[in-house]
């Protein structure tokens, strides 16, 4: 079954300055495609036909590059935009942005970040069936800790569940996950449905609440992965994707 997706694209990209002063981070080119283009193509290859993209900083440029409501294709799902900057004047962070976009998402949906490159990631929900049945609220993919994140984000136990126990090995969140909308509603999330007031909220606290109730599964992904968060990592990504840019 194909699930819709939320693609996180609203950040200011401050660590990328001055590259992002006039270009939104999701539109920075890596090889033949932009960062956002790589993510959308991966979703389309997996059969995802609907995606919501949140925007804030220079969001109009993103919409100009990827038009809304075009029919889904082999390279891009049909897109809807959640215009955080236009409505509130700022980005809402991960949980705030997802809560605002909930009316356009299903009961179960993918979350991906536009600035994480994983060319072989398949967006396969098979490991996350407990999310599909409602047993779990989320299933996230982790990666071995990169040099810039040596201590990781979450502890992964041998039972395939995330834990708040610091004695278990910690890995880095790959920014890919399958989520239930319930995680972004009461009692897990204090934000009003649809986030009408534009509250800014990160995702990690919600996950930790669900982790404490053993309702978050995880899979360790060992394929090629890169968080393109700095000019140095952007240059490294471009060395891996050497074809000249000619498409969004």
Residue pLDDT, tens place only, 191-204: 998 999 999 999 99
Whether the pLDDT of residue 172 is over 50: the answer is yes
179 - beta bridge partners?
A: 109, 138
Whether the pLDDT of residue 118 is over 90: the answer is yes
Tokens describing residue 70: 């075009």
Q: How far apart are CA 143 and CA 175, in angstroms?
A: 10
138 - beta bridge partners?
A: 179, 216
pLDDT category at 246 given cuts 50, 70, 90 is very low
Whether the pLDDT of residue 244 is over 60: the answer is no
Mean pLDDT of 182-209: 96
Q: What is the pLDDT of residue 243?
A: 53
pLDDT category at 245 given cuts 50, 70, 90 is very low
Q: How far apart are CA 49 and CA 109, in angstroms?
A: 12
Half-sphere exposure of 168 (CA within 13 A, CB side): 14
Residues 64 and 51 sit within 8 Å (Cβ to Cβ): no
pLDDT category at 182 given cuts 50, 70, 90 is very high
What secondary structure does DSSP assign to 93-115, as a single string? HHHHHHHHHGGGS-SEEEEEETT
pLDDT category at 166 given cuts 50, 70, 90 is confident
Q: Structural domains in the chain?
A: 5-138+173-200+226-240 (3.90.550.10)
Q: What's the longest Cα–Cα distance across the chain? A: 48
The predicted model scores a pTM of: 0.95
Q: How far apart are CA 193 and CA 101, in angstroms?
A: 10
Q: How far apart are CA 175 and CA 113, in angstroms?
A: 6
Q: How far apart are CA 214 and CA 65, in angstroms?
A: 41
**Burial grade of 238 (CB within 10 A; 0-12, 13-18, 19 or more):** middle
Half-sphere exposure of 46 (CA within 13 A, CB side): 23
Q: How far apart are CA 32 and CA 229, in angstroms?
A: 19
Q: How far apart are CA 188 and CA 175, in angstroms?
A: 20
211-242 pLDDT, tens digit per residue, is 999 999 999 999 999 999 999 999 999 998 76
Tell how strand 170-180 and strand 138-143 pair up.
antiparallel
Half-sphere exposure of 9 (CA within 13 A, CB side): 34
Q: What is the pLDDT of residue 1?
A: 75
Average pLDDT of the chain is 95
Three-state secondary-structure class, residue 14: helix
29-70 pLDDT, tens digit per residue, is 999 999 999 999 999 999 999 999 999 999 999 999 999 999
Whether the pLDDT of residue 165 is over 60: the answer is yes
pLDDT category at 248 given cuts 50, 70, 90 is low
Give the residue with greater pLDDT, 245 vs 89: 89
């Amino acid at each position: 079954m194909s699930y819709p997706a939320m693609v996180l694209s609203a950040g200011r990209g401050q660590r990328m300055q001055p590259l992002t002063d006039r270009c939104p981070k999701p539109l920075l080119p890596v090889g033949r495609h932009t960062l956002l283009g790589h993510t959308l193509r991966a979703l389309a290859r997996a059969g995802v036909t609907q995606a919501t993209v949140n925007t804030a900083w220079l969001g109009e440029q993103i919409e100009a590059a990827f038009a809304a409501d075009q029919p889904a294709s082999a390279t891009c799902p049909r897109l809807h935009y959640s215009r955080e900057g236009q409505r509130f004047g700022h980005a809402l962070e991960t949980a705030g942005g997802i809560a605002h976009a909930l009316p356009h998402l299903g009961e179960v949906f993918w979350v991906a970040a536009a600035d994480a490159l994983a060319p072989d990631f398949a967006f396969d929900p098979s490991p996350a069936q407990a999310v599909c049945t409602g047993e779990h609220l989320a299933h996230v993919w982790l990666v071995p800790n990169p040099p810039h994140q040596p201590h990781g984000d979450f502890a992964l136990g041998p039972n395939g569940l995330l834990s708040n126990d610091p004695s278990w090995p910690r890995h880095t969140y790959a920014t890919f996950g399958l989520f239930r909308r319930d995680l972004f509603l009461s009692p897990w999330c204090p934000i009003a449905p649809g986030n009408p007031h534009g509250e800014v909220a990160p995702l990690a606290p919600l996950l930790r609440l669900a982790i404490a109730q053993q309702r978050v599964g995880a899979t360790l992904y060992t394929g090629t992965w890169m968080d393109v968060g700095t000019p140095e990592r952007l240059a490294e990504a471009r060395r891996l994707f050497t074809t000249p840019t000619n498409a969004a």
